[in-house]
Structure 1
């Protein structure tokens, strides 16, 4: 499996989660879908960083903030 196909599938999955969440009323199911989309977006940022061959700085701005937000929920 190459990086591009994995990233494309993950991007499509995130888009699908957000679209599905938009069609739901506020509540636990909608929040869970949005939380999963956020987690998958973190994965995309990490994939970009890991495969950047040192061209990108570590996503320090993202990891601690998200980890803290996810613990609160």
Structure 2
């Protein structure tokens, strides 16, 4: 699977998750869909960063990923 198709698949999945969440009332199911969309957005940003031709440190907003995970436990 090439980068473009993986990125497209993730983008489509993010859109589907957000659309489905929009149709639900506030609650656990909606929160779970939004959490999955957020995780996919992070994965998408990481793919873009890792595959970029520039060698920059990770974007600042991706650095607190570990703290975010710890908070969920």
Using the size of structure 1 for normalisation, the TM-score is 0.85
Higher relative contact order (CA 8 A, sep 6+): 2
Alignment length (residue pairs): 72
For residues 13-67 of structure 1, the C-alpha deviation after alignment (integer angstroms, 9 at most, x for no partner) is: 0000000000111000100000010010000010000000225542233231x43
Structure 1 residue runs of 4+, over 3 Å off?
none
Provide the C-alpha distance between the structure 2 equivalents of 1:32 and 1:58, rounded to a whole number of angstroms: 26
> Mapping of 1:1-73 within 5 angstroms?
1-54=1-54, 56-64=56-64, 66-73=65-72
Using the size of structure 2 for normalisation, the TM-score is 0.85
- Unaligned regions of 5+ residues in structure 2, if any? none
Shift in Å at residue 2 of structure 1? Answer: 1.0
Measured on the aligned residues, the alpha-carbon RMSD in Å equals: 1.6
- Unaligned regions of 5+ residues in structure 1, if any? none
